[in-house]
Amino acid sequence: MFGATSFVGQILSEYMISKYADQENITWAAAGRSKSKLEALRTSLGSKANGLPLIVADAAVESTLKDMVSQTGVIISTVGPYALYGELLVKVCAETGTDYCDLTGEPQWIREMISKYEETAKNSGARIIHCCGFDSIPSDLGVYYLQQQAKAQFGEVCNHIKMGVKATKGGASGGTIASMLNMVKELVAKPSLRKVLANPYSLCPSDHAFSVRQRSNNRPVFDSDFNTWTALFVMAGINTKIVHRTNALSGNEYGSDFRYDEAMLMKKGFKAPLLSVGITTAIASFMALATVKPTRMILEKFILPKPGDGPSPEAQKKGFFDLRFMGKTPNGNKMNVKVTGDRDPGYGSTAKVLAETGILLAIGLSKTDKPGGFWTPASAFGNSLIERLKAQAGLTFETI
C-alpha cells in the first residue's frame, strides 16, 4: 500500500489491520517516502501490526519504486495529486507486469497514462485500474448492476441511464482539494485540456464509435424522471467517462447509442429550485476563483483544507451516500437501482472499497481471466467486485 501515511492511506491501513491481520492468505506491506512516518504509523496501529513490513519508496525515484514492486503482486496507491506524483509508478508497474489500482479522479492524467503505457501493460500483463474509490466505483458498478438486472428481467439493456445523488454526508480532505486545484492549474496552462474534460468519451479507446450527445447537467434543471430539481454533481466529470470506457471495453455491451448522466437531486419542495441554483452557482464560482492565480493562492492559504487534513474518524463513521439509478430500454422498459455506502463517501467508504478492490485484484482475478491493460472496475471485475463490496465494504446494490 503505497502512500500509507497519507490521509486515506492511514484509514486504509487501519482497515487492513482490523480486518485482515490474522488472515494468512493476505499479506501486505505499508510503503511511503518517510521511514520514520511509516514506523509511527505501524506503532499507531497497535500490537496486531507489530510484524507489518515497511518499504521506503519515493514517487520521484524510479529505483526505489522498482525495488518496491519487485516485492509484491499488487500496488494500491494513494499518492496524489496523481498528475504530479503518479506517473512514474504507473510506468514501473506497466513495465514489470505488476498490478495496480488507485483512487484518482483526474481524467486528463488517466488519458495520458493510457496513451503512454497501455501497450506496455498489455505486453507485460499488468492490470492498471484507476478510479477505485467513491469516484468511480459506485457509478461504474451501479450502471453495470442495473444493466445485468435489465438483461435478466427484460432481455435487453438500457440505452439511457441517469444517476441521481439522493443523499450524501461527508467531508473534503486537503488531498482531494489539491487534486482539483492542480487540474485547474493544468487547464490554465493548457487550455486544450478543456476538450478532454468536456468530452464524455475522452477515456474510450480511439476507435470507439460512440457519437450520441450526452447531457452535461451543468446548470439547474427540473428532471421529470426524478420529479425534482437537480444540480451539478462535481464527480460526474470523471464518473461518466469511466462508465463510457467500461461500455467500450466490454464490446459495447450497453449499446453504441448508450447515454449516461449524473446530477445531485434536490429535496422536493418550494426550496428545491433555489437550492439547485445555489449549489450550481457555488461550484461554478469556486472554479472561476480557482482559475485566477491571486484568488487561488488565497483559497489555498487561508480557506481550503491542507493536504493531510480531512474528516474526523467520528465524521467518517456518521457519513453515508445514497445513489439512485434510473434506466430505460429501447422498448420502453424501466429499471431502478439503489446503491448505498455506510461511511463518509470520499474517505471512510473509499478506503474500504479501495482495499477490497486491491485484495480482489491480488487473489480473485487471474491473469488468464483478465489480461494486462488499463481496465475500469466494472470491466475488470463485474459481479465479483459487487459481491465482495456487499459482503465486506458496507455497500448495497438493489433494485427498487
Q: What is the pLDDT of residue 175?
A: 72
Query: What proportion of the chain, given as a percentage, has pLDDT over 70?
Result: 99
pLDDT level of residue 140 (50, 70, 90 thresholds): very high
- Structural contact between residues 162 and 226, judged by C-beta atoms closer than 8 angstroms: yes
Residue type at 183?
A: M
Q: What would the mean pLDDT of 318-325 be, rounded to a whole number?
A: 97
- Is the pLDDT at 306 greater than 80? The verdict is no
Residue 217 — pLDDT band, cuts 50, 70, 90? confident
233 and 221 fall within a common domain: yes
* 116 and 158 in a common domain: no
Q: Rounded distance, CA 37 to CA 277, Å?
A: 44
Q: Can you give the pLDDT at residue 225?
A: 95
115-130 mean pLDDT: 98
Per the rule left: phi > 0, alpha: psi between -120 and 50, beta: everything else, 242 is alpha
Report residue 323: phi and psi, to 5°.
-110, 140
What is the domain extent for residue 16?
Answer: 7-133+348-381
* Largest separation between any pair of C-alpha atoms in the chain: 61
Residues 211, 324 share a domain: yes
pLDDT band at 301 (very low <50, low <70, confident <90, very high): confident
Domain count, the chain: 2
Instruction: Tell me the three cell numbers of residue 65.
Output: 519504486
Q: Say yes or no to pLDDT of 234 above 80.
A: yes
pLDDT at 17 over 80: yes
Tell me whether strands 127-129 and 373-375 are parallel, antiparallel or unpaired: parallel
Average pLDDT over every residue of 149-176: 92
Are residue 65 and residue 191 in the same domain, yes or no? no
Cα gap 369→381, rounded to integer Å: 10
All 3 cell numbers of residue 102? Answer: 488507485
Cα–Cα distance between 296 and 303 in angstroms, integer?
10
Q: What is the dihedral of CA 368, 372, 377, 378, to 10 degrees?
A: -60
- Per the omega criterion (within 30 degrees of 0), is the bond before 136 cis? yes
Distance CA 277, CA 110 (A): 31
Would you state the pLDDT for residue 357?
98
- In a shared domain, residues 270 and 189: yes
Assign residue 16 the CATH number of its domain. 3.40.50.720
What does the pLDDT read at residue 400? 96
* Eight-state DSSP code of residue 49: G
Over residues 272-300, mean pLDDT: 91
* pLDDT value for 63: 98
Nearest alpha carbon to residue 237 among 357, 104, 366: 104
Q: In terms of domains, do 158 and 23 share one? A: no
Between helix 174-189 and helix 7-20 the angle, nearest 10°, is 140
In this structure, what DSSP letter does residue 136 have?
B
Bridge partners of 336, per DSSP, are 326
pLDDT at 173 over 70: no
Does residue 321 lie in a domain region? yes
> In this structure, is residue 359 part of a structural domain?
yes
Name the band, by pLDDT with cuts 50, 70 and 90, for residue 284: confident
Mean pLDDT estimate for the chain: 95
**Is the model more confident about 202 or about 306?**
202
Based on the domain organization, do 101 and 123 belong to the same domain?
Answer: yes
Length of the chain as a residue count:
400
Mean pLDDT for 174-191 is 86
Kindly state whether residue 239 falls inside one of the protein's structural domains: yes
